[in-house]
Amino acid sequence: MFFLWKIRSCFAIASLLCLLPFGALAEQPTIQATLTFAPKVPPPISRSTQARVVVDFEANEFTGELTHGEQYTYWGFNQSVPGPMIRVRQNDTVEFHLKNHKDNRFPHNIDLHAVNGPGGGAAVNLVIPGKKSIFSFKVLNPGLYIYHCASPVPNIPAHIANGMYGMILVEPEQGLPKVDREFYVLQSEFFTQPSTQPDLLELSMEKGLAEHPDYVVFNGKDGALTGDGALKAVAGETVRMFFGNIGPNSISSFHIIGEIFDTVYIEGSLKGAVNHNVQTTVVPSAGSTIVEFIVDVPGDYLLVDHSIFRVAKGAVGFLSVTGKEKPDIFKSIQK
């Protein structure tokens, strides 16, 4: 009788264990996030299970080139504007480590629009110079999301306008369709005035309040996507662009001259509305979009904000496409 009771007890325990969520039996594996700087994108996620993803950021206040011959007093993450791109999978748990460099003057934090929680995390991660904060969150909703600093000292707009922003991609559990090229492009405005140092610009709050930017740029500076920085592809390839607009004030009318977006994930949602055959897509301040298209013929294609006077302020870049001509699609006819 004791032997039969023991067998039944084992079966009962096994049945109960089967009813428990997997996470109760085994902890999620912990991995280090692969972070990339614009226009590079982290590689697609190949795993099919959830993970605990550790993300390491540092807030920096530094000097960098905004336009030819002019430096700017940037604030950014990981010594970059925009900050690194993060790529995770739906239902992952992110463990976010934020350091504030000891030489900084101001407290910093981070508000990730992918977070379901107070302040997008900013309510629990404000950190003074020389210190570090850690918090975690589960990514519930697939999509492309903006992140930015939301420190109230001296004020939130100053942190955003000075360069403390970037994007986080939450892939759906089934992943995204395979493409040949992926790019990370983020539009932003800069409101400048001379500082006390020669050839060094700093933020003008007055211009910001008046919503009169001196520069509207892609990837943090004038000319970032021109010359050696131009995006590159080969005719016949499928291109996916993760495009964001931090503002901090204006809406972007994103357009590529000579291309039509085959697929647009509206407002960066990956389980929402999808549009096709789109010429120009509207991206709100602190919003995003994902566009996909095939580059059919070689040539130089201009990325612009089609609020077209902004091109003169820097909102222009190049996608340089090489490869075989296709005269059945496009050709010049001499008369």
Residue of 258, 260, 251, 232 whose CA lies nearest to 315: 251
Q: Residue 296's Cα: distance from chain center in Å?
A: 27
Burial class (CB in 10 A: 0-12, 13-18, 19+), 266: middle
Which of the residue ranges 25-29, 49-53, 143-147, 270-274 would you say has the lowest mean pLDDT? 25-29
Q: Are strands 52-67 and 93-100 parallel, antiparallel or unpaired?
A: parallel
Q: What percent of the chain has pLDDT over 90?
A: 90
Position 1 confidence tier, pLDDT thresholds 50, 70, 90? very low
Q: Which tens digits make up the pLDDT trace of 182-209?
A: 999 999 999 999 999 999 999 999 999 9
Tokens of 20: 């428990």
Which residues, 6+ apart, have CB-to-CB distance to 15 below 8 Å? none
Confidence at residue 26, expressed as pLDDT on a 0 to 100 scale: 52
In angstroms, the CA 334 to CA 152 distance is 61
Q: What are phi and psi of 310, to 5 degrees?
A: -70, -20
Calculate mean pLDDT across residues 246-263. 98
Cα 305 from Cα 288, distance rounded (Å): 13
- Asked whether the predicted pLDDT for residue 27 surpasses 80, the reply is no
In this prediction, residues 106-129 reach a mean pLDDT of 98
Tell me how far apart the alpha carbons of residues 153 and 159 are, in angstroms, rounded to a whole number.
Answer: 9
Q: How far apart are CA 199 and CA 211, in angstroms?
A: 23
Indicate whether 25 pLDDT > 50: no
C-alpha to C-alpha distance for 316 and 305, rounded to whole angstroms: 7
Task: From 263, 256, 260, 234, select the one nearest 301 (Cα to Cα).
Answer: 256
Place of tokens 């972007």: 252
* AA letter at 197: Q
pLDDT recorded at residue 222: 98
User: Can you tell me which residue has the tokens 């059945």?
Assistant: 328
Q: Which two tokens stand for residue 227?
A: 């010359």
Query: Has residue 107 got a pLDDT over 80?
Result: yes
C-beta of residue 100 within 8 angstroms of C-beta of residue 109 = no
Cα 236 to Cα 42, 43, 200, 202, 299, distances in angstroms: 23, 21, 44, 43, 12
Instruction: Indicate the average pLDDT of the chain.
Output: 93
Residues 199, 220, 159, 122: what is their CA dihedral angle, to the nearest 10 degrees? -160
- Contact yes or no for 282/311 (Cβ under 8 A): no
**Residue range 78-93: average pLDDT?**
98
Instruction: Please report which confidence band the pLDDT of residue 2 belongs to, taking 50, 70 and 90 as the band edges.
Output: very low
Phi and psi for 245 in degrees, rounded to 5?
-135, 110
Q: What is the CA radius of gyration of the chain?
A: 23
- Contact between 161 and 79 under an 8 Å Cβ cutoff? The reply is no
Q: Which CATH class is domain 27-171?
A: mainly beta
| Average pLDDT of span 257-264 | 98
Query: Does domain 181-322 fall into CATH 3.30.590.20?
Result: no
* Ranges in the chain annotated CATH 2.60.40.420: 27-171, 181-322
Is it the case that residue 20 has pLDDT exceeding 80?
A: no
Average pLDDT for residues 264-270, to the nearest whole number?
Answer: 98
Model-level pTM? Answer: 0.91
Q: Can you tell me the mean pLDDT for 128-138?
A: 98
If pLDDT is split at 50, 70 and 90, which confidence band does 8 have? very low
pLDDT above 70: residue 235: yes
Q: Quote the pLDDT of residue 23.
A: 45
Q: Copy the structure tokens of residue 248.
A: 């901090």
Place of tokens 């004038």: 222
Q: What is the pLDDT of residue 28?
A: 84
**For strand 316-322 and strand 299-305, is the pairing parallel, antiparallel, or unpaired?**
antiparallel
> In this predicted model, what pLDDT tens digit does every residue of 45-69 receive, in sequence order?
999 999 999 999 999 999 999 999 8
In degrees and rounded to multiples of 5, residue 103 shows phi and psi of -90, 0
Tokens 């700087």 belong to which residue? 37
pLDDT category of residue 7 using cuts at 50, 70 and 90: very low
